[in-house]
Amino acid sequence: MSRPIRSGRASADNPSTASPRLGLVLMVIAAAQLMVVLDSTIVNIALPEIQHGLAFSSTGLQWVVTAYALAFGGLLLLGGRAGDMFGHSRTFLVGIALFSTASLLGGLAAVPSWLVACRALQGAGAAMASPAALALIASTFPEGGPRNRAMGVYAGMGSSGGAIGLLLGGLLTEYASWRWVMFVNVPIGALVLLVAARTVPKTAVRGGQLDLPGAITASSGLALLVYGLSNVSAHGWGATLTHGPLIAAAILLAGFLLIERVASQPLVPLHLFHDRNRSSAYAIMLAIGAVMFAMFFFTTQYEQNVLGYSPLRAGVAFLPLTVVLVVVATVVSRVLGDRTGIRLAVTTGPLVITAGLFWATTVSTHSSYLDLLGPFVTTSAGVGMSFVPLTLITVATVRPEDRGIAAALLNASQQIGGSFGLTALVTVAGNAARNWERRPGTARMPAEGLARGAFTQGYHEAFLTAGFITLAAFLIATAAIRTRPEPAGDAIAAVPDPG
């Protein structure tokens, strides 16, 4: 059964559709989302300084990045459901407060374990704030033009945060200290909390019993999945540190599905996957997440290892990508409506990404920044084109009490896809580089030329593989997405009736 819901009208769950403070609400949500996403990359350029300052071992340093990804990816589902049960506005505020406090403590870190623990706390705060932010957009802005524009801003912050993090990390590390990649979140978080407390509308506290068995198995399973994948590049697939966590993750996630089938108040209502459009959106986001993580990683390495850029200059080089992402996401949000529909955008986006990735395989050791710019502006345009329709598909026909978990699943898809994709593509690149070094004649090359040539060959293979990943996403979108255009001012969506 389904019941029609008219969008663009005030409702009990959407009390502020005519509020003059919607602009401030959007600014708060966008600032919070930007802060959460850029912390996935802001520490990357600062890692050498962090290693020197806190005497990290070469193997321990990876945990500065991994701890954040583990907590963020592993707790997203729990954070999303907590928002649905205890109120999205309240969960948003608690998440930002936890994130900001962890940032302050992390900037004061005196030993490696202290910083790693604070990064994990940051991830936990992000896992609460990020799905709540998306759910707040869905419950605050009326469906149609206002919500589409808000989603465009949200998507622009989410998709450009990684590039902004690289730039900001380079600036802070070079002109201040690595500690400021943590401290910078404190004033931003304080301002977000101050404005949000005054402007973000209170959302319903629905209560209920939290599905603790489901929360434990899902969060632990996702955390072990991310942990196992993070060990592949260093230890290989056959290592106990790799296959042990992955096997445990498979068992836990299988147990999670069994628990959700019988739970009276499940952490993840399985009916969310009955909608073909939404399930396809999650799969497409997995692919795009893999490509985004890889694009930042390999491009940063190419700029520094082949073009010889400093960390700051490498960060600045990402500015055009950031601009394109934001502009395209904003434009797409404004043209979606009764004449265009989201199906065209969600199918075209992955195809544009694929074209950019295949174009990137033409870059050589003698290429310039301009040769690199074209492929990655194209890729960025495709990513910006995809984020808005994917987020709209995710929350468009979800009951209000399920919006947080639906948003969390989309974010988890990006995080897990990014972890898996980066690991797989690093493995592909490493194998290609080693094979290239064994070619006849390479032994006589200068060491620097050999290293640059091997890296570029690995770069080619990685982006060729990434192109096939997004080509698969295009095929999924073409075959499965069936969303039709809706009138922007008075759209009617069919929502499953629990009765």
Segment 251-270, tens digit of pLDDT = 999 999 999 888 887 877 88
Examine residue 10 and state whether it is found in any structural domain, yes or no: no
- In the prediction, which pLDDT does 305 show? 78
220 and 84 in a common domain: no
221 and 193 in a common domain: no
Examine residue 9 and state whether it is found in any structural domain, yes or no: no
Indicate the residue among 266, 290, 313 that finishes a domain. Answer: 266
Evaluate if residue 314 carries a pLDDT over 70: yes
Examine residue 92 and state whether it is found in any structural domain, yes or no: yes
Residue 8 is encoded by which pair of tokens? Answer: 């663009």
72 and 145 in a common domain: yes
Evaluate if residue 481 carries a pLDDT over 90: no
Examine residue 498 and state whether it is found in any structural domain, yes or no: no
Examine residue 161 and state whether it is found in any structural domain, yes or no: yes
256 and 272 in a common domain: no
- In the prediction, which pLDDT does 59 show? 58
473 and 372 in a common domain: yes
- In the prediction, which pLDDT does 18 show? 42
Q: What is the 3-state secondary structure (H, E, C) of the chain?
A: CEEEEECCCCECCECCCCCCCHHHHHHHHHHHHHHHHHCCCCCCCCHHHHHHHHCCCCCCCCHHHHHHHHHHHHHHHHHHHHHHHHCHHHHHHHHHHHHHHHHHHHHCCCCHHHHHHHHHHHHHHHHHHHHHHHHHHHHHCCCCHHHHHHHHHHHHHHHHHHHHHHHHHHHHHHHCCCCHHHHCHHHHHHHHHHHHHHHCCCCCCCCCCCCHHHHHHHHHHHHHHHHHHHCHHHHCCCCHHHHHHHHHHHHHHHHHHHHHHHCCCCCCCHHHHCCHHHHHHHHHHHHHHHHHHHHHHHHHHHHHHCCCCCHHHHHHCCHHHHHHHHHHHHHHHHHCCCCCCHHHHHHHHHHHHHHHHHHHCCCCCCCCHHHHHHHHHHHHHHHHHHHHHHHHHHHHCCCHHHHHHHHHHHHHHHHHHHHHHHHHHHHHHHHHHHHHHCCCCHHHCCHHHHHHHHHHHHHHHHHHHHHHHHHHHHHHHHHHCCCCCCCCCCCEEEEECCC
- Compute the average pLDDT of residues 287-302: 83
314 and 260 in a common domain: no
Evaluate if residue 249 carries a pLDDT over 80: yes
Evaluate if residue 247 carries a pLDDT over 50: yes
The residue range of the domain holding 318 is: 18-201+267-488
- In the prediction, which pLDDT does 105 show? 97
Q: How many domains does the chain have?
A: 2
Indicate the residue among 251, 266, 281 that finishes a domain. Answer: 266
76-85, 194-203, 273-282, 323-332, range with greatest mean pLDDT: 273-282
Q: Tell me how crowded residue 326 is: count the other CB atoms within 10 A of its CB.
A: 21
Examine residue 363 and state whether it is found in any structural domain, yes or no: yes
78 and 123 in a common domain: yes
CATH number where 372 lies: 1.20.1250.20
- In the prediction, which pLDDT does 233 show? 63
217 and 78 in a common domain: no
Q: Which amino acid is at 234?
A: A
pLDDT in tens, 374-385: 999 999 999 989
147-156, 169-178, 225-234, range with greatest mean pLDDT: 169-178
pLDDT in tens, 86-141: 888 899 999 999 999 999 999 999 999 999 999 999 999 998 998 888 788 877 88
Examine residue 494 and state whether it is found in any structural domain, yes or no: no
254 and 366 in a common domain: no
Predicted structure pTM score: 0.73
Residue 36 is encoded by which pair of tokens? Answer: 């959460």
36 and 89 in a common domain: yes
93 and 151 in a common domain: yes
Examine residue 1 and state whether it is found in any structural domain, yes or no: no
218 and 315 in a common domain: no
Evaluate if residue 444 carries a pLDDT over 70: no
